[in-house]
Structure formats: structure tokens, C-alpha cells
Amino acid sequence: MNLLKSRRCINLDNDIYNYPDIDVYDYDATVRSSEEISEIIHSLFSIINRSDNLNFNLCDINYSGKSIFCDKNLDVPRHSMPQLKSKVSVDSLLYTLAKSNKINYTKDSDGNINEIDCNNLFALFLKRKGYDITNQLVPAELLYPTQNELNCSKVSAMYFKLLEKNDSDDYKNITDAIYVTRDAYVLDGHHRWAAQIALNHTLDIDDDILIKTKTINCDIDNILELANLFCNRLGLLPEKTF
């Protein structure tokens, strides 16, 4: 599959740094309890949401012998995936710039440097390497995960934030564009994608949920190593699922 040629995807403007303020789905929050897969997901997330220490790999949830979320994944562990918004090494240039307040960063509960968002810098990096990026609206179900791990607790929290459907920063962050490749693999943003897949399974909607993507005109096999190189050079630290 080539997302850039799919009739089910909608191409938007070519400004790779900004995304139009668009509501990608409209729904009534009605759970389709008659469908077994809907019941499994919603019930599971409800249990996880009420627990402080219950967590596991969402990729291990199967239905009829098939992973609900991680079918056709490329068996890459999360710690081997690029993290474009992440904590940074204290001896990196990014950390030095953040310490001098020359770049934006989020703070932890103690007011220290927490995460630095390099999504726009990555877009510039790809452009200079000769890769085109297209803003698209893509049916969430058309996308495949690259990694073989999904933090159930994290996806569950995002899922319930999506059900609220409000103007909060959390909601906007979850529905922000994710990086995918033209052969339909998620490069960065797996948990946000999984939360919208869950929504697609459980809500009574007529059409598939469209997810905002920055689609790279390259296949996952050719871009994964380059993306990891970008993160390593900047000192963006990989994450573990648990």
C-alpha cells in the first residue's frame, strides 16, 4: 500500500511545520456493546483506568488468534524506536540549549528539564536529506505499528481523553499529527495511534476515524535507521514500554 496514492487518504497543505486546525472526526460516544471486540477493549481500559499498578503489553491482546492492535508489526522493541519528543542526555547540545532557555522544553514536577520536542527539527532534517513530507488525513485502520510493544495504561489514559473530546491541551496533543511512512507504518506516535484505533473499534460511527499524519515519501525499512541516527546525534533518549 502507498498512502500517498490511496483514495481513502486526504492530502492537505504542504506546510510541514503546521497543521490546519481541523476536527478529524465527529461522533456520539456510544459504545457498541453488541460487538465482542468493542466490549473487550472498553472493559479492559476501564479496569486499567481504575488501577494504579496494573499494566501490560497491549500487543499481547488477541482476538481469534490475531493481535487487535499489533497485527503485522515489524517486531521492533520500543527502546529501538526513535522518540522525537523525549528526555535528552545531559551531555547533549539540546540539554545545554534548554538549560540556557534557548529552546523550549517541558518541565517535570521539580521544575527540571523533562522533554524536548524535535518534531519540526526532524521535518527539516528529512527535507535536507531529500525526503518529501505530505500532511494527510488517513484512516487509522490503514496504519501498521512498527514496534511490538504498547503500554496499555498509557493508551487507556489517552483513550478516555479522546472520549471527552474537548479543547484541553491533552486532547490536542493526542490528536496531533504523527509521523508515518508511505507504506503505512507508524514511525513515531504509536500510543496516540493505538488510542484512536481503540476509539474506532468502540464507538458507533459511520466512517473510519481519520488520523492526522505527516507521511514521509519513503518506506519504513529505509527511514527507521535514519530516524534513530537523528535522535542519537541530538541526544534524544529512547524509551522503554514499562
Asked whether the predicted pLDDT for residue 32 surpasses 50, the reply is no
pLDDT tens per residue across span 179-229: 999 999 999 999 999 999 998 888 766 567 899 999 999 999 999 999 999
Average pLDDT estimate for 38-62: 86
Quick one: pLDDT at residue 13?
67
pLDDT band at 7 (very low <50, low <70, confident <90, very high): confident
Summary mean pLDDT of the chain: 87
Quick one: pLDDT at residue 31?
34
pLDDT band at 30 (very low <50, low <70, confident <90, very high): very low
Q: CA–CA separation, 13 vs 41, rounded Å?
A: 35
Q: CA–CA separation, 50 vs 135, rounded Å?
A: 36
Average pLDDT estimate for 30-42: 63
Q: CA–CA separation, 194 vs 69, rounded Å?
A: 7
Quick one: pLDDT at residue 178?
97
Query: Is the separation of the CB atoms in 126 and 133 below 8 Å?
Result: yes
Quick one: pLDDT at residue 35?
67
Query: Is the separation of the CB atoms in 105 and 113 below 8 Å?
Result: yes
Q: CA–CA separation, 70 vs 76, rounded Å?
A: 11
pLDDT band at 33 (very low <50, low <70, confident <90, very high): very low
Asked whether the predicted pLDDT for residue 98 surpasses 80, the reply is yes
Average pLDDT estimate for 155-176: 91
**What percentage of the chain has pLDDT greater than the value 70?**
88
Better-scored residue on pLDDT, 242 or 74: 74
Better-scored residue on pLDDT, 135 or 55: 135
Quick one: pLDDT at residue 219?
97
Query: Is the separation of the CB atoms in 172 and 24 below 8 Å?
Result: no
Quick one: pLDDT at residue 26?
47
Asked whether the predicted pLDDT for residue 96 surpasses 50, the reply is yes
Asked whether the predicted pLDDT for residue 29 surpasses 60, the reply is no
Sequence-separated (6 or more) residues with CB below 8 Å from residue 59: 67, 69, 70, 73, 145, 148, 149, 150
